[in-house]
Amino acid sequence: MNGLVDIATMVLVSMGAVLFLAGALGLLRFPDTLSRLHAVSKADNLGLGLIVMGLLPQAESVSGGLKLICVWLLAQISAATASQLLARKIHRDEGRS
């Protein structure tokens, strides 16, 4: 039983890590800021979600698990706001030029 949970953790966290890597590559390779932003926010949100999901079964207590979910939630909120702010700024700058 324990082995299965561990395997699930490993698979989920690895998938998350791969998504992060993809996001990072997108950040480096995509041509314009908006698509870079898109790559990073998509991949990171999903990647973090997978990692948190993978780690949940490893949490030692319920409150530990709740903290993990809080971390994910807060990261979601701040990432969403930051992307929005950046996108607005880009939009404005482009509108001006």
Q: In the complex, which residues of this chain contact another protein (CB under 8 A)?
A: 70, 74, 77-78, 80-81, 84-85, 88
Smallest gap, in angstroms, from Cβ of residue 77 to another protein?
Answer: 6
Query: Distance from first CA to last CA of the chain, Å, rounded?
Result: 60
In angstroms, give the least distance from the CB of 81 to another protein: 4
Comparing CB distances to another protein, the nearer of 15 and 86 is 86
Task: Decide whether 7 or 85 has the Cβ nearer to another protein.
Answer: 85
**Three-class HEC string of the chain:** CHHHHHHHHHHHHHHHHHHHHHHHHHHHHCCCHHHHHHHHHHHHHHHHHHHHHHHHHHCCCHHHHHHHHHHHHHHHHHHHHHHHHHHHHHHHHHHHC
Quick one: 35 or 84, whose CB is closer to another protein? 84
For residue 52, the minimal CB distance to another protein (Å) is: 16
Our CB check for another protein shows the closer of 11 and 85 to be 85
